[in-house]
Structure 1
Amino acid sequence: MGESAVLVRDMAEADREEVRSLLVRAYEEYSARMPDRWEAYKESIEASVDAEGPKARLVAELDGRIVGSAQLFLGSESAYGRPELDIRTPILRLLAVSPSHRGRGIATEIIRESARRALSWGADTLHLHTSDLMASAVRLYERLGFERAYDKEFYNGETLVKSYRLRLAESALV
């Protein structure tokens, strides 16, 4: 990862605009593949920085700059307004790494800290949701030991939102 270590910490109030910008830059690569939905998705991503619900908002800092972020929710109701998914353990959402800093293990460090926090909150699993649109993210999750949780999947319009879970007691991440 180079000479510098990545520091994963809680987002500070002063980080909000930098995180908002980072999220848009990180997810913008999908805009061409969702032209009819991109503007609404972008607005939702931007609004998430201020929205109620996350138990924790994390940032990854490298050389004093924010290069990654994520949000942790305590379950499917607070994460998606979907209590019927019956997820009562932490859910990782909106994991983002600056496009210019990808491939340096930053996402892995954010996921590692998320897993540690989930354990410290008494959870036995960490969940996340994604879609086929985010193929490189899916490969990362599977490499880190996440497995499909078919019973926690749902559709957003015509898009299958796939569910993955990491069994924390069995994970090499923590």
Structure 2
Amino acid sequence: MLRDYQPADAEAITRVALAAFAEFEPHFSDWPLFTANVAKMPLLAKTGEIIVAEDGGRIVGAVAYIGAQAPKPEFFDPAWPVIRMLVVDPAARGKGIGRQLTEECLRRAERDQSQAIALHTTPIMTVALPMYLRMGFARIGEAPDILGVPYAVYVKSLG
């Protein structure tokens, strides 16, 4: 079940985000700094909409949808809505939760009459990146590395 974020969800989505990224620890040059930033995921509710996935009353995933004109990193076109911080609890993977959360972001972009939606990700995300490509996202350019890990920008046309 997907629903909108409530402030009481902050601790649970932070736990899920930290668990979701744990497997990537060897790749980042400053893991404590990276995890400190991941733990700020609830702050994305200030500039966007966080969507929460629940299974049996337990939060198992979340994603932030940042609308077209909301503040976002400069490597994104300001006219694009952006998908940020898609996270799924490792214990709940393989159930299509990441796809459902991404599809909900696509619905919100269409609701907002956006022509495209963007995200940035890295090849080390060997499940997420192929999913985005299957869903029609295309790599359009580089994004700044994050603590030694290469990232790129991907866009899906909605027009």
- TM-score > 0.5, shorter chain as reference: yes
- Aligned pair count reads 158
Q: Which residue of the other structure, out of 29, 33, 46, is the alignment partner of 1:40?
A: 33
Q: Does 2:102 correspond to 1:111?
A: yes
Q: Which residue of the other structure, out of 148, 156, 167, is the alignment partner of 2:145?
A: 156
Shift, 1:111, TM fit: 0.6
Q: Give the Cα–Cα distance (whole angstroms) in 1 for the partners of residues 59 and 115 of structure 2.
A: 29
Letter in 1 for 2:144: Y
Q: Does 2:24 correspond to 1:30?
A: yes
Q: Which residue of the other structure, out of 46, 60, 67, is the alignment partner of 2:53?
A: 60
Name stretches of at least 5 consecutive residues in structure 2 with no aligned partner. none
For residues 109-158 of structure 1, the C-alpha deviation after alignment (integer angstroms, 9 at most, x for no partner) is: 001110000111111111110012212211111111111122xx322265
Q: Which residue of the other structure, out of 56, 64, 70, is the alignment partner of 1:71?
A: 64
Identity rate of aligned residues, in percent?
Answer: 27
Q: Which residue of the other structure, out of 101, 125, 128, is the alignment partner of 2:119?
A: 128
Shift, 1:75, TM fit: 4.7
TM-score, scaled relative to structure 2: 0.90
| C-alpha distance 136-52 of structure 1, shift in aligned 2 (>3 A) | closer
Tell whether the 8 Å contact from 2:76 to 2:118 is kept in structure 1 after alignment: no
Q: Which residue of the other structure, out of 90, 108, 111, is the alignment partner of 2:81?
A: 90
Q: Give the Cα–Cα distance (whole angstroms) in 2 for the partners of residues 102 and 88 of structure 1.
A: 32
Tell whether the 8 Å contact from 2:72 to 2:78 is kept in structure 1 after alignment: no
Structure number having the greater strand percentage: 2
